[in-house]
Amino acid sequence: MEKLKEKKLFLFDMDGTLYLGERLYDFTNELLATIKARGGKYMFMTNNSSKSVSDYIKKLARLGIHAEEDDFITSSQATGYYLKKNYRGKVLYVCGTESLKAEIRGQGFEITDELEKVDVVVMGFDTELTFKKLEDVSKLLLLRENIPYIATNPDYVCPTEFGSVPDCGSVCDMLYNVSGRRPLVIGKPEPLMPILAMDKWGYTKEETVVIGDRIYTDIKSGIRADVSTILVLSGETTREILEKSPDKPSYVMESGRELLDILK
């Protein structure tokens, strides 16, 4: 646990880690303030590519957390970063929300619906999905063999007040049934979001820790990025799930309060 005091970059999952649904955990603001007071940096890491950073700033403000643009690393941002590194100057088809398109356009990309112009297909969590978009992507995957195919996040469902709705991974499964192709995935459990965060703020692997409540997304992304991980049991993971999981976090805590007690 002593080693946690040496960490500088804290990458937090949000739901189940800092709050649950619409209820803020009572330690969250003190934990964030303590990290800042120690000269560290924290970031909120999310796979949800349907919302923009400004949507998240509003959501956190509603819960009582003050956040700024620079405090986030989203799968949309990571996708933009990946595209810039690998497909600069290429024309994209984006099956995603207008806010995902704006994020990717902001990285200097042209996005089009004219299928003959498309070089790369990008899938997001598309809460504005239409059958026309599914048909367009089907055409691109079937008629354009080996066209690069990228997805912001692998989640099958996104939680809602009434249960859940299909997320990016489920739509990609529909397209798998059509084309036999699986996309390259950017969000958790892939390591790109932690890597991008370290890159952006200039921290080393040794200085970085990922904190989350899901082993198969949060903790796995940290393990794959080769940084320390803290599993908090304040969300969806129970000790039973942890015991059965092949992936083990560096630290296990009941909640972020234990991390606060160590850092204080």
**Nearest 5°: phi and psi at 196?**
-65, -40
Q: How far is the CB of 213 from Mg ion (least distance, A)?
A: 4
Q: How far is the CB of 232 from Mg ion (least distance, A)?
A: 9
Interface region with Mg ion, contact rule CB under 5 A, candidates 14-22, 61-69, 127-135, 241-249: 14-22
Q: How far is the CB of 255 from Mg ion (least distance, A)?
A: 12
Q: Is 216 exposed, middle or buried (0-12, 13-18, 19+ CB in 10 A)?
A: middle
Task: Enter the tokens of residue 114.
Answer: 């004219």
Q: How far is the CB of 78 from Mg ion (least distance, A)?
A: 17
Q: How far is the CB of 218 from Mg ion (least distance, A)?
A: 6
Report the residue number whose CB is nearest to Mg ion.
16
Closer Cβ to Mg ion, 15 or 247, answer by number: 15
Task: Enter the tokens of residue 235.
Answer: 């969300």
With CB under 5 A as the contact rule, the residue among 16, 80, 96, 256 that binds Mg ion is 16
Q: How far is the CB of 250 from Mg ion (least distance, A)?
A: 18
DSSP state of 17: T
Closer Cβ to Mg ion, 17 or 104, answer by number: 17
For residue 133, give Cα distances in angstroms to 96, 102, 122: 9, 17, 11
Spatial strand order in the sheet of 149-151: 110-111, 91-95, 120-123, 149-151, 184-185
- Binding-residue total with Mg ion (CB under 5 A): 5
For residue 207, give Cα distances in angstroms to 4, 204, 227, 229: 9, 5, 8, 12
Task: Enter the tokens of residue 9.
Answer: 């970059």
Closer Cβ to Mg ion, 9 or 231, answer by number: 231
Instruction: Please report the sign of the dihedral spanned by the C-alpha atoms of residue 157, residue 50, residue 104, residue 199.
Output: negative
Q: Are 178 and 141 in contact (CB under 8 A)?
A: yes
Q: How far is the CB of 222 from Mg ion (least distance, A)?
A: 13
Q: Are 17 and 260 in contact (CB under 8 A)?
A: no
Query: Which residues within the stretch 196-215 sit at the binding site for Mg ion (CB under 5 A)?
Result: 213
Closer Cβ to Mg ion, 104 or 225, answer by number: 225
Contacts of 250 (CB under 8 A, 6+ apart): 209, 228, 229, 230
15 binds Mg ion (CB under 5 A): yes
Closer Cβ to Mg ion, 183 or 235, answer by number: 235
Query: Which residues within the stretch 218-237 sit at the binding site for Mg ion (CB under 5 A)?
Result: 235
Question: At residue 186, what is the residue type?
Answer: I
Query: Which residues within the stretch 17-56 sit at the binding site for Mg ion (CB under 5 A)?
Result: none
Q: How far is the CB of 18 from Mg ion (least distance, A)?
A: 9
Closer Cβ to Mg ion, 13 or 103, answer by number: 13
Q: Are 191 and 225 in contact (CB under 8 A)?
A: yes
With CB under 5 A as the contact rule, the residue among 8, 13, 25, 100 that binds Mg ion is 13
183 binds Mg ion (CB under 5 A): no
Task: Enter the tokens of residue 208.
Answer: 């970085």
Chain residues binding Mg ion by CB under 5 A are: 13, 15-16, 213, 235
